[in-house]
Structure 1
Amino acid sequence: MDSLEKQLFNYGYRYVAGIDEAGRGPIAGPLVVAAVVFKTNQKPFVYNDSKKLSEKERFNLYQEIVENALSYSIAVIDNEKIDSVGISEALKEGVYEVIRNLQLEPDFFILDHINVDLKSESISISKADEVSHTVAAASILAKVTRDQIMLKFSNEYPNFSFDKHKGYGTKQHYEEIKKYGITPIHRKSYRLF
């Protein structure tokens, strides 16, 4: 899992940032982008993509990531922004925001299938969270943050099971829209019916 970081450190890079997102596909709720930088000798402790872990495992790892990161940053882009600029542009803005908010300047970025122009050197690869423990860590920060937000929305909008489907376009979610209409957190530019 840590071979990508090891290679980069061997090439002389010092601060490698992993960037990932959660919530590109849902029809409701925000997009969350996260960036993480570990120290060069950080022993990997994240081995799985966030989707392959239980909620409890993700939460425990979230705490460990925050404690061990040299720096981390999380950006929440709401549905209104997504509707006004589109998901691709919202994602780019989220990436720029997390980079700006890091407390150090990375000299290399690993992104999980996100195409964005960066001043520093970077690589964008599909399923980066499977070959980079730093991206896997960013994926956990993004997913846990988004899940917590959707849990709050499930209390705010009790007719919707946001705690279960997390805003994704499931059969249950479309049935809820049909019965109760759309909420202020739905992405109006997406297919909602």
Structure 2
Amino acid sequence: IDEAGRGPLCGPVVVASCIMPLDDDKIIYGIDDSKKLSEKIREQLFEKIKETAIAFCIEEVDEKTIDEINILEATKLGMKKCIENLKVKPNLALIDAVKNINNSTPQIAIIKGDATSYSIAAASILAKVHRDRLMQKLDAKYSVYNFAKHKGYGTKEHIELLKKYGPCEIHRKTFIKNFFK
């Protein structure tokens, strides 16, 4: 299990879980931490992972929930849903760094798990590509913010646009409050 989008100023945090086969003929070469891969490679691997996975789940936790319960608890909520909504129930959940998901499935939190675990790396790709695609779609609705370019992260450009136009409904109010003091 891994997430994408804990740090951006807007949009959901996206969590993905996947159970990958370990048969030699089903290993997908090139899977790695999504942050180490180009967008083009992530897109290619995204489709291969969905086709090959024994089971996978992608969950979004929206910015309103993030503002209500905080980003860590929102991430844990998404992770819990990802375990519960897998079509095949895992015997063990390998989770990138986050501990104590409120779920009865045994769990191991692995620091930098997206760089050391095949399944966590695959989940990181699913989460990242799903979130990037979502932010590209949201760019059409909120084009003044240029979400397609920075995906909601706090780039200099995004902060300047945020100050110029003010927040839109998908901005995380708790993440941007310091820009408006």
Length-normalised TM-score, structure 1: 0.87
Given the alignment of the two structures, is residue 101 of structure 1 paired with residue 77 of structure 2, yes or no?
no
Partner of residue 9, structure 2:
27
Given the alignment of the two structures, is residue 39 of structure 1 paired with residue 24 of structure 2, yes or no?
no
Partner of residue 64, structure 1:
48
Partner of residue 151, structure 1:
136
Partner of residue 67, structure 2:
83
Q: Secondary structure at the match of 1:34?
A: strand
Given the alignment of the two structures, is residue 189 of structure 1 paired with residue 174 of structure 2, yes or no?
yes
Q: Unmatched 5+ residue regions in structure 1?
A: 1-18
Deviation at 1:44, TM superposition (A): 4.5
Length-normalised TM-score, structure 2: 0.92
User: In structure 2, what residue type is equivalent to 1:104?
Assistant: V
For residues 179 and 191 of structure 1, the distance between their equivalents in structure 2, rounded to whole angstroms, comes to: 13
For residues 123 and 170 of structure 2, the distance between their equivalents in structure 1, rounded to whole angstroms, comes to: 24
Partner of residue 6, structure 1:
none
User: In structure 2, what residue type is equivalent to 1:72?
Assistant: F
Q: Is the 8 A contact 1:62 1:141 kept in 2?
A: yes
The more displaced of 33-42 and 57-66 is 33-42
For residues 68 and 47 of structure 1, the distance between their equivalents in structure 2, rounded to whole angstroms, comes to: 12
Q: Is the 8 A contact 1:46 1:133 kept in 2?
A: no
Higher helix proportion: 2
Q: Secondary structure at the match of 2:137?
A: helix
**RMSD value, Cα:** 1.2
Q: Secondary structure at the match of 1:159?
A: helix
Deviation at 1:47, TM superposition (A): 3.4
Q: Is the 8 A contact 1:28 1:185 kept in 2?
A: yes
Q: Is the 8 A contact 1:115 1:124 kept in 2?
A: yes
Q: Is the 8 A contact 2:28 2:48 kept in 1?
A: no
For residues 30 and 69 of structure 2, the distance between their equivalents in structure 1, rounded to whole angstroms, comes to: 33
Q: Secondary structure at the match of 1:138?
A: helix
Partner of residue 171, structure 1:
156
Q: Is the 8 A contact 2:99 2:108 kept in 1?
A: no
Segments ≥4 residues shifted beyond 6 Å = none
User: In structure 2, what residue type is equivalent to 1:102?
Assistant: L
Given the alignment of the two structures, is residue 52 of structure 1 paired with residue 36 of structure 2, yes or no?
yes
Q: Secondary structure at the match of 1:29?
A: coil
How many aligned residue pairs are there?
175
The more displaced of 64-73 and 89-98 is 89-98
Sequence identity, in percent?
45
Q: Unmatched 5+ residue regions in structure 2?
A: none
